[in-house]
Amino acid sequence: METIVSVTGGKVRGRTEDGISKFFGIPYAAAPVGPLRFEAPRPVAEWPGVRDAVEYGPTCAQSPYPPPIHAIIGSDHIPGDEYLNVNVWTPEVGGAGRPVLVWIHGGAFVRGSNAREMYDGSTFARDGVVVVSINYRLGISGFAALRDAPLNRGLRDQIFALEWVRDNVAAFGGDPGNVTIFGESAGGMSVIDLISSPRTTGLFRRAIAQSGNGSAVGTAEDAYKVTEHVATVLGIEPTAAAFGALTPDQLREGQDSVAAALATDPDPERWGASTIAGGFGVMSFFPVLDGEVLADRPIEALAAHPERQVPLLIGWNADEFRLFTVPTGVAAGITAEVLPFAVARYGVDPAIVADYSATRPDATPADVFAAIVSDLAFRDDSVRIAETVAAAGTPTFAYEFAWPSGVDGLGACHALEIPFVFDQAAAAPTLTGENPPQQLATDMHGAWVRFATEGDPGWPPFDPTGRTVRIFDAPRSSEATDPRGEELRALRAAYRTP
Cβ neighbours of 497 (radius 10 Å): 7
Q: Does an H or E element contain 218, and which? A: strand 218-219
Using CA atoms, how far apart are residues 165 and 162, in angstroms rounded to an integer? 5
469 CA to centre of own chain: 21
Give the span between the Cα atoms of 88 and 265, in whole angstroms.
42
Cα separations (Å) of 309 from 161, 363, 385, 480? 20, 39, 11, 25
Phi/psi at 314 (nearest 5 deg)?
Answer: -140, 145
Amino acid sitting at position 152: N
Contact 222, 272 (CB under 8 A): yes
The CA distance from 105 to 101, in Å, is 13
* Sign of the C-alpha dihedral computed for residues 117, 122, 127 and 132 taken in this order: positive
Neighbouring CB atoms inside 10 A of 296's CB total 17
Positions marked catalytic: 185, 320, 414
User: Within 13 Å of residue 226, how many CA atoms lie on the same side as its CB?
Assistant: 35
| Separation between Cα atoms, residue 481 and residue 498, nearest integer Å | 31
Residue 377 carries which side chain, given as an amino acid letter? A
Measure the N-to-C terminal CA separation of the chain; round to a whole number of Å: 57
Is 146 within 8 Å of 38 (Cβ atoms)? yes
**Beta bridge partners of residue 455, listed in sequence order:** none
